Amino acid sequence: MIPSQAVIPKARNKQVIVYRSGMANFENVTTGIRDTSMVEITSGLKAGDTILISGLLTTKPGSTVILSKVNKP
């Protein structure tokens, strides 16, 4: 489960921005059940992936990302 604001709806799929090696990578995901604030990801992410939940509109694929805070489950 990830915060629902992290999922970016597209015309044909849904995407999540994953932080890897200081870069923003856009990954297609498949969603499952959701509640008011969280959504289940059934495919497209691996356990331990770091996802972005803010700055989504200004982040471009391959851009450099500096994390200010990391929340671990």
Amino acid at 15: Q
Q: What is the pLDDT of residue 13?
A: 95
Architecture of domain 2-51: Beta Barrel (2.40)
**Domain ranges in the chain?**
2-51
pLDDT of the residue at 72:
75
Instruction: Please state, in angstroms and as integers, the Cα–Cα distance from residue 5 to each residue in 14, 21, 64, following that order.
Output: 12, 23, 21
pLDDT for 69 equals 78
Q: What is the pLDDT of residues 29-72, one digit of tens each?
A: 999 999 999 999 999 999 999 999 999 989 999 999 998 877 77
3-class secondary structure for 19-71?
A: EECCEEEEEEEEEEEECCCEEEEEECCCCCCEECCCCCCCCCCCCECCCCCCC
Q: What is the DSSP letter of 37?
A: S
